[in-house]
A and B are shown apart, each in its own frame.
Chain A
Amino acid sequence: MLTAFFARRARHLLIALVLVSLSLVAPAFAADTVNVYSARKEALIKPLLDRFSAETGVTVNLVTGKGDALLTRLQAEGRNSPADVLITTDAGRLYRAQEAGVLQAVESDTLLREVPAHLRSPQNQWFGLSVRARAIVYATDRVNASELSTYEDLADPRWKGRICIRSSSNIYNQSLVAGMLATQGVASTDAWLAAFVPNFARPPQGGDRDQVLAVAAGQCDIAVVNSYYLGAMITSGEPTQQAAAEQVAIFWPNQDGRGTHVNISGAGVVGSSKNRAQAIALIEFLARDDSQQWYAEANNEYPVRPDIAPSALLQSWGEFKADQVDASELGRVNSAALMAMDRARWK
Chain B
Amino acid sequence: MEVEATSIAVAVAGPTRWQRIAGTDTVWRLCLLLGAALIALPVVVVVASLWQPYSPVWQHLLDTVLADYVVNSLLLMAGVGLGTLVLGVSSAWLTAMCEFPGRRFFTWALLLPMAMPAYIIAYTYTGLLDFAGPLQTALRDTFGWRYGEYWFPEIRSLGGAICMLSLVLYPYVYLLVRVAFTEQSTALLEASRSLGRGPWRTFFGVALPVARPAIAAGVSLVLMEALADYGTVDYFGVSTFTTGIFRTWYGLGELTTAAQLASLLLLFVFVLFALERLSRQRLRFHHGTVSKAIQRIPLRGWRAAGTCAWLALILLAAFVIPTTQLALWAGTHWRSSVDAGFMTLVSNTFMLAAIASLCCLAVALFLAYGKRLFPDWLTVVAVRTAGMGYAVPGTVIAVGVLIPFAWLDNHIDLLMQENFGMPTGLLLSGSLVALLFAYVVRFLSVSLQTVESGLSRIGSSLDESARSLGASAGGVLRRVHLPILRGSLLTALLLVFVDVLKELPATLILRPFNFNTLAVRAFELASDERLAAAATPALAIVLIGLLPVILLNRGMTAGEDGHG
Contact = CB atoms under 8 A, between A and B. Distances in A.
Given A25-B425, A68-B253, A76-B429, A61 B532 contact: no
B186 interface: no
A1 interface: yes
B6 interface: yes
Contact of B416 (A18, A64, A96): A18
A43 B513 contact: no
Nearest 4 CB-CB pairings of A with B: A205-B237, A61-B513, A213-B132, A217-B132
A180 to B, nearest CB: 16
Given A76-B429, A171-B251, 15 more contacts: A25-B427, A35-B513, A41-B525, A43-B525, A43-B528, A63-B430, A64-B508, A69-B395, A72-B399, A73-B509, A77-B430, A167-B237, A214-B131, A218-B146, A218-B147
A329 interface: no
Interface of A: 1-2, 5, 8, 18, 21-22, 24-25, 27-29, 35, 41-44, 61-70, 72-73, 76-82, 96, 166-169, 171, 174, 203-210, 213-214, 216-219, 229, 232, 236-238, 240, 244, 334-335, 338-339, 342-343, 345, 347
26 contacts: A2-B14, A5-B10, A8-B3, A21-B424, A29-B425, A41-B524, A41-B527, A62-B513, A64-B524, A72-B509, A73-B430, A77-B426, A77-B430, A78-B406, A80-B410, A203-B157, A208-B529, A210-B132, A214-B132, A217-B137, A240-B134, A334-B253, A335-B251, A335-B254, A339-B252, A343-B63
A61 B514 contact: yes
A335 B253 contact: yes
Contacts of B426: 25, 77, 80-82
A169 B512 contact: no
Contacts of A209: 529
A22 B426 CA distance: 9
Contacts of B430: 28, 63, 73, 77, 82
Interface stretch (B241-249, B277-285, B349-357, B436-444): B241-249
A274 to B, nearest CB: 9
A169 B251 contact: yes
A43 B529 CA distance: 13
B250 A171 contact: yes
A77 B253 contact: no
A318 B355 CA distance: 54
Interface of B: 3, 6-7, 10, 13-14, 17, 57, 60-61, 63-65, 126, 130-132, 134, 136-137, 146-147, 156-157, 234-237, 239, 243, 246-247, 249-255, 332, 395, 398-399, 402-403, 406-407, 409-410, 413, 416, 422-427, 429-431, 508-516, 520-521, 524-525, 527-530, 532
A1 B157 CA distance: 67
Contacts of B511: 63
Nearest to B395: A69
Contacts, number: 186
A244 B235 CA distance: 20
B530 A232 contact: yes
* Chain B at the A interface: SS class: helix
Contacts of A168: 247, 251
A218 B402 CA distance: 47
A218 B54 CA distance: 46
Contacts of A203: 157, 237
Contacts of A25: 425-427, 431
A280 B84 CA distance: 53
A211 B494 CA distance: 39
Nearest to B11: A5
Contact of A334 (B130, B251, B407, B527): B251
A169 B532 contact: no
Contacts of B528: 41, 43-44
A27 B87 CA distance: 50
Given A77-B426, A169-B246, A65 B509 contact: yes
Among B255, B430, B508: residue with most chain A CB under 10 A: B430
A174 B513 contact: no
A347 to B, nearest CB: 6
B131 A219 contact: yes
Nearest to A6: B10
Contacts of B515: 63
Nearest to A63: B513
B524 A338 contact: no
Contact of B532 (A29, A62, A67, A238): A238
A69 B234 CA distance: 17
Contacts of B247: 168-169, 338
